[in-house]
Amino acid sequence: MRQRSRGAWSAWLWVVLGASLMAGCGGGRPPAEKPTPGIPPPHPKTVTRRVLGTSNTHSLMVRADGTVWAWGANNEGQVGDGTKTTRHAPVQVPGLTNVVAVAAGGYHSLALRQNGTVWTWGSNISGQLGDGTKSARFTPQPVPGLTGVVAIAAGGYHSLAVRQDGTVWGWGSNSSFQLGSPSNPEPLKPRKVPGLTGVVAVAAGLMNTLALRHDGTVWALGDNAFGQLGDGTVTGPRATPAQVPGLSDVVALDFSFQSAVVVKQDGTVWTWGDNRRGELGDGTKISRATPGQVPGLSDVVDVSASTQGHLLALRGNGTVWSWGNNAFGQLGDGTDFPRAAPAQVPDFTGVTGLAAGGTHCLVLREDGSVWGWGPNHGGWLGVGSARRPTPVRASGLPGVVSVEVGVGFSLALDTEGRVWTWGRGIRPAGQALPAAISPVQVPELSGGVAIAASGYHGLVLLGDGTVWGWGNSQGIVPGIPVPRQVPGLSGIVAIATVYAQSVALHSDGTVWQWEHTFAPGNGNVEPGHRSTPFQVQELTDVVAIAAGDSHFLALKKDGTVWAWGSNFHGQFGDGTTRNEIVPVPVQVMGLTGVKAISAGGSHSVAVLEDGTVWNWGAYRLGVTDDGPTISQTPVQVPGLTDVVGVSSRYHTSLALRGDGTVWTWGENEDGTYEPGFAPKQVPELTNVKALAAGSSVHHSLVVLPDGTVRGWGDNYYGQLGDGTSGQHFTPTRALLP
């Protein structure tokens, strides 16, 4: 792996010596870079771009598609989403595309785009945004007059940029001459730092600038109270860059609060400056004004230094090593004891990038996932707000394509075919499980194309046409703790399930049904139950299926709807309440041209090709606030047009319109909207692309175009996945990885 050059305040700097965007956020290496005119090529181990950025207040990430995501404290607008709201899970920073690097300062942020422009947002108290003012900005804006930039870094209150010609430009605080000439203590616009040429990387401390030249030498300027300039002196600040003696072949660098760290071509690590918290890693707490090698570290490919005295090193084998301050568990070893010498972060491998924030850490793994540890009260780790002394996966990064809900739990299917679950402890990881208030991955499953949930169990349809299930039918007897294949099913294209029965649609248009208790032993099916899938009589040319609390629906190719199962409340829609012991479907009266169906607790819903919605069965049907309680034939839901999808739960229905808005009607228990039974729009939701509301449950989920999930309603078991167990009356974001 080629090594990295980076900036402090965990302002992850990537030296961009070309214009091509990295192909991925993890696992793969960046492409080889073309030499930039005017600058000799860098050392072969120098990595080219930084996709993570952390500070003492917030965190940043660049995704493979060039978008930027941010989370954490937002009191100065440093998250960049146009608000001052703390974000405990990642949100996309609007207006940024084709980004190749990010840097996080104390309370401000930088992004470098592929076209060589720099964009800034957040605090501007010292002019660190470079726009000529001291006004804070809550969304990204370009730095005027700055082009041809190949690398960026952010300090506490100043910012740096390296241009293609190897010059360094800075703006913001110059209190210790970290930007060069003392004649301008606070330049509000970019100004060339005198005496720096041929630079390929820079790092920014609180009041220092560190530069790496193409020849592997390191140059420093700014504060020197603890010998952080590395020249053997402890004097006043220096405005003229000077070479750090005794260092050559450097390929990566970083700056902590008042100490510096570099990596050499041979994989050794060297430090100097303040050592009051053991940040020099030499086993002592004696500060040093000249570089010294950190013992016990070899094959290091990247380093990161925080503003609060802890450091990280990434070795070529993908392991992470930490040392220094540990007052908040930032060393990732599960303790709060400081260490003056490096030790491996236990049980953690496959790392490709790392960032040390003020008191927390983030790392990027080969699979593109982001993990963090340390204090988390500002939402810095991207997963709730609880302290995490050992690594935990950051949540909220998008990728969900569909969601399903059961009694007290939820399922999500992501773009990679993985299944995630949270809420009531029926998730497939063992017996007698506690609730999971944040999503966990369902093990032993990959290649999923559809999911279904009801009662206390889940189903997954794989791409090979097989169906797998786990849990139990009634939530009473112990269930299957890991996914098990449903025997006798192949060529399946859709699935649906209720408490004790499931149906599957075959590619030939036939429907298959089976009953289950999902008990772990063999022969535990109650008398009369048919645990082996059987074909539902007289159903052909079916294109969609739906399962209610005790009845099923099928949509045929000709646009007609057929029902079977319980009809106690008229959910067949045939004008009767008769029940059939043998599951023989009957046609719903008066409905043609249907394009979508859904089944609730004791009612049914259909969407016609003209975008109107019709429902029948028990409970309020959305006709008016004092409308009919039961209808044995379909009635139109007034006020709903251009509907493209529906989903029903026990006594409530949801409709998705073509404009991406969501409308709901029915009873208002456990967090549905406003009392009243006529359709009402769900506030704060736009551009929704998928719905989920279980037939016998009291919470709802929706998927947004960015792949994130929002939910509302009952949350006793954490089934909304937001890291809490409190009920929500408005949509809240699920913390999905």
Q: CA 150: distance to chain centroid?
A: 27
What is each CA distance from 51 to 12, 258, 328, 400, in whole angstroms? Answer: 7, 24, 25, 22
Residue 630 located in a structural domain = yes
Average confidence score pLDDT of the chain: 80
Is residue 45 pLDDT above 50, yes or no? Answer: no
What is the rounded average pLDDT of the residues 387-407? 67
DSSP string for 465-501: S-EEEEEESSSSS--EEEEEEPTT--SEEEEEE-SSE
The verdict on 652 and 517 lying in the same domain is: yes
Give yes or no: residues 91 and 167 share one domain. yes
Which domain range does residue 539 map to?
400-733
H/E/C letters for each residue in 316-361? Answer: CCCCEEEEECCCCCCCCCCCCCCEEEEEECCCCCCEEEEEECCCCE
Mean pLDDT score, 696-706: 67
Residue 418 has pLDDT above 50, yes or no: yes
What is the pLDDT at residue 99? 94
Rounded Cα–Cα distance for residues 171 and 533 (Å): 70
User: Which region among 123-127, 141-145, 228-232, 454-458 has the lowest average model confidence (pLDDT)?
Assistant: 454-458
Asked if 507 and 611 sit in the same domain, the reply is yes
Residue-wise burial string across 354-383, b where 16 or more C-beta atoms lie within 10 A, e elsewhere:
bbbbbbbbbbbbeebebbbbbbbebbbbbb
Give, in order, the Cα–Cα distances in Å from 143 to each of 123, 331, 422.
Answer: 14, 36, 43
Structural domain includes residue 330: no
Number of domains composing the chain: 2
Pairing of strands 3-4, 46-47: parallel
CA angle (183 as vertex; 179, 187 as ends), nearest 5: 50
Check residue 593 and give left, alpha or beta (phi > 0: left; psi -120 to 50: alpha). left
Please count the other Cβ atoms lying within 10 Å of the Cβ belonging to residue 716: 16
pLDDT at site 4: 39
Average pLDDT over residues 140-159: 95
671 phi, psi to nearest 5 deg? 100, 0
Rounded distance, CA 589 to CA 571, Å? 11
Residue matched to tokens 């046609």: 587
Tell me how far the alpha carbon of residue 608 is from its chain's centroid.
36
Q: Rounded mean pLDDT of 675-679?
A: 64
pLDDT mean over 523-532: 48
pLDDT at residue 425, rounded to an integer: 55
Q: How far apart are CA 380 and CA 24, in angstroms?
A: 23
pLDDT the model gives residue 673: 43
Residues 324-346 have a mean pLDDT of 86
**Would you place residue 649 in the very low, low, confident or very high pLDDT band (cuts 50, 70, 90)?**
low
Same domain, 265 and 127: yes
What residue type is 105 in one-letter code? G
Percent of the chain at pLDDT exceeding 90: 42
Shared-domain flag, residues 183 and 55: yes
Residue 323 in this model has a pLDDT that exceeds 90: yes
Per-residue pLDDT tens digits for 19-42 = 222 222 223 322 333 334 444 433
538-555 pLDDT, tens per residue?
899 999 999 887 889 999
Q: Please report whether residue 335 resides in a domain.
A: no
Apex CA 729: angle with CA 692 and CA 395, to 5°? 65
- The answer on 454 and 382 residing in a single domain is no
Helix (H, G, I), strand (E, B) or coil at 461: strand
The per-residue pLDDT for 543 is 93
pLDDT at 245 over 80: yes
* pTM of the complete model beyond 0.85: no
Q: What share of the chain is helix, strand, coil (3-state, %, to 5)?
A: 0, 40, 60
Distance CA 155, CA 55 (A): 9
| 376/486 same-domain check | no
29-33, 394-398, 407-411, 568-572: which range is least confident on average? Answer: 29-33
CB atoms within 10 A of CB 269: 23
What pLDDT was estimated at residue 299? 96
Q: Are residues 505 and 376 in the same domain?
A: no
Q: How far is CA 279 from CA 133, 287, 311, 376, in A?
A: 36, 9, 7, 22
Residues 500 and 586 in one domain: yes
Say yes or no: 379 and 473 in one domain. Answer: no
CA 536 remoteness from chain centre:
42
Quote the DSSP letter at residue 306: -
103 and 52 within one domain: yes
Residue 519 or 622, more confident: 622
Q: Find the range with the poorest average confidence among 419-433, 633-647, 682-696.
A: 419-433
**pLDDT over 90 (residue 120):** yes
Instruction: Check whether residue 169 and residue 263 sit in a common domain.
Output: yes
Does residue 337 form part of some domain? no
Provide the CATH number for the domain around residue 450.
Answer: 2.130.10.30
pLDDT of the residue at 437 = 59
CA–CA dist 495, 452 (Å, integer): 7
Q: How many residues does the chain have?
A: 737
Is residue 131 in a domain?
yes
Tokens of 83: 């608000």
Average pLDDT over residues 673-684: 69
Q: How many CA atoms lie within 13 A of 20 on its CB side?
A: 10
Question: DSSP character for 294?
Answer: P
d(CA 317, CA 1) in angstroms, rounded, equals 10
How confident is the model over 66-80, as a mean pLDDT?
90
Q: Which residue has the tokens 């359709």?
A: 679
Q: What is the residue-wise DSSP string for 403-456?
A: EEE-SSEEEEEETTS-EEEEESTTSBTBSSPPPEEEEEEPTT--SEEEEEEETE
Q: Does the structure show a pLDDT above 90 at 597?
A: yes
Highest mean pLDDT out of 335-339, 376-380, 613-617: 613-617
Task: Pull the structure tokens for residue 626.
Answer: 């004092």
Rounded to an integer, the average pLDDT of 112-118 is 96
Q: Is residue 291 part of a domain?
A: no
**Sequence-separated (6 or more) residues with CB below 8 Å from residue 122:** 76, 77, 78, 80, 105, 107, 108, 109, 129, 136, 137, 138
pLDDT tens digits, residue range 483-519?
A: 889 999 999 999 998 767 899 999 999 999 988 644 3
Quick check: 126 and 186 in contact, CB under 8 A? yes
For residue 134, tell me if it sits in a domain: yes
The per-residue pLDDT for range 251-289, each reduced to its tens digit, is 999 988 899 999 999 999 999 999 999 999 999 999 999
Q: What is the pLDDT of residue 583?
A: 67
Instruction: Please measure the distance between the N-terminal and C-terminal CA atoms of the chain and give it in whole angstroms.
Output: 26
The pLDDT-based confidence of 137 (bands split at 50, 70, 90) is very high
Q: What pLDDT does residue 614 have?
A: 94
Where is the domain boundary, 337, 357, 388? 388
Q: Does pLDDT of 130 surpass 50?
A: yes
What is the reported pLDDT for 580?
63
What's the mean pLDDT in 345-349? Answer: 84
- Phi, psi angle pair for 527, to nearest 5°: -55, 135
For residue 697, report the phi and psi dihedrals to the nearest 5 degrees: -130, 175
Residue 185 inside a domain? The answer is: yes
Average pLDDT over residues 302-326: 90
